[in-house]
Amino acid sequence: MKELIEYIARNLASRPDDVKVTEEMEEDRVVLKLEVAEEDKGKIIGRQGRVAQAMRILLRVSAVKNGTKAVLEIV
Protein backbone atom coordinates (compact mmCIF):
# COMPACT_ATOMS: atom_id res chain seq x y z
CA MET A 1 0.00 0.00 0.00
CA LYS A 2 2.82 2.36 0.87
CA GLU A 3 4.49 1.67 -2.46
CA LEU A 4 1.27 2.40 -4.36
CA ILE A 5 0.85 5.86 -2.81
CA GLU A 6 4.54 6.64 -3.22
CA TYR A 7 4.45 5.63 -6.90
CA ILE A 8 1.42 7.81 -7.66
CA ALA A 9 2.80 10.82 -5.75
CA ARG A 10 6.24 10.60 -7.35
CA ASN A 11 4.71 10.59 -10.83
CA LEU A 12 2.54 13.62 -10.07
CA ALA A 13 5.16 15.71 -8.27
CA SER A 14 7.61 18.04 -9.99
CA ARG A 15 10.12 17.26 -7.21
CA PRO A 16 9.78 13.46 -6.83
CA ASP A 17 12.82 13.22 -4.54
CA ASP A 18 10.92 15.19 -1.88
CA VAL A 19 8.06 12.66 -1.72
CA LYS A 20 8.06 10.72 1.53
CA VAL A 21 5.47 8.22 2.75
CA THR A 22 5.46 6.95 6.32
CA GLU A 23 3.33 4.12 7.60
CA GLU A 24 1.95 3.97 11.15
CA MET A 25 -0.40 1.61 12.95
CA GLU A 26 -3.22 3.36 14.77
CA GLU A 27 -5.73 1.19 16.63
CA ASP A 28 -7.10 -1.19 13.95
CA ARG A 29 -5.98 0.70 10.86
CA VAL A 30 -2.90 1.72 8.90
CA VAL A 31 -2.25 5.46 8.58
CA LEU A 32 -0.14 6.54 5.62
CA LYS A 33 1.28 10.06 5.86
CA LEU A 34 2.29 11.59 2.55
CA GLU A 35 4.78 14.46 2.62
CA VAL A 36 5.58 16.42 -0.54
CA ALA A 37 7.28 19.71 -1.40
CA GLU A 38 5.14 22.76 -0.70
CA GLU A 39 4.76 23.61 -4.39
CA ASP A 40 3.56 20.06 -5.17
CA LYS A 41 0.71 19.98 -2.65
CA GLY A 42 -1.70 21.49 -5.18
CA LYS A 43 -0.87 18.80 -7.73
CA ILE A 44 -1.27 16.03 -5.17
CA ILE A 45 -4.59 17.35 -3.87
CA GLY A 46 -5.95 18.29 -7.29
CA ARG A 47 -8.92 20.43 -8.21
CA GLN A 48 -11.57 20.17 -5.51
CA GLY A 49 -9.54 17.34 -3.99
CA ARG A 50 -10.23 14.90 -6.81
CA VAL A 51 -6.70 13.50 -7.09
CA ALA A 52 -6.41 13.03 -3.33
CA GLN A 53 -9.83 11.38 -3.25
CA ALA A 54 -8.85 9.00 -6.05
CA MET A 55 -5.66 8.08 -4.18
CA ARG A 56 -7.70 7.41 -1.03
CA ILE A 57 -10.11 5.18 -2.95
CA LEU A 58 -7.24 3.14 -4.44
CA LEU A 59 -5.69 2.85 -0.99
CA ARG A 60 -8.97 1.70 0.52
CA VAL A 61 -9.43 -0.96 -2.18
CA SER A 62 -5.88 -2.20 -1.65
CA ALA A 63 -6.43 -2.34 2.11
CA VAL A 64 -9.65 -4.31 1.77
CA LYS A 65 -7.85 -6.85 -0.43
CA ASN A 66 -5.28 -7.25 2.38
CA GLY A 67 -8.00 -7.49 5.02
CA THR A 68 -7.15 -4.22 6.79
CA LYS A 69 -8.25 -0.59 6.89
CA ALA A 70 -6.10 2.30 5.70
CA VAL A 71 -6.22 6.08 5.79
CA LEU A 72 -4.20 8.62 3.79
CA GLU A 73 -3.13 11.91 5.35
CA ILE A 74 -1.41 14.57 3.26
CA VAL A 75 0.90 16.69 5.41
User: For residue 35, what pLDDT is reported?
Assistant: 96
Rounded-to-integer distance, Cα 43 and Cα 30, Å: 24
Number of domains in the chain: 1
User: For residue 10, what pLDDT is reported?
Assistant: 96
User: For residue 57, what pLDDT is reported?
Assistant: 97
To the question of pTM greater than 0.85 for the whole model, the response is: yes
Contact 71, 53 (CB under 8 A): no
The residue range of the domain holding 25 is 2-74
CATH value at residue 15 = 3.30.300.20
pLDDT digits (tens, 9 = 90+) for 29-67: 999 999 999 999 999 999 999 999 999 999 999 999 999
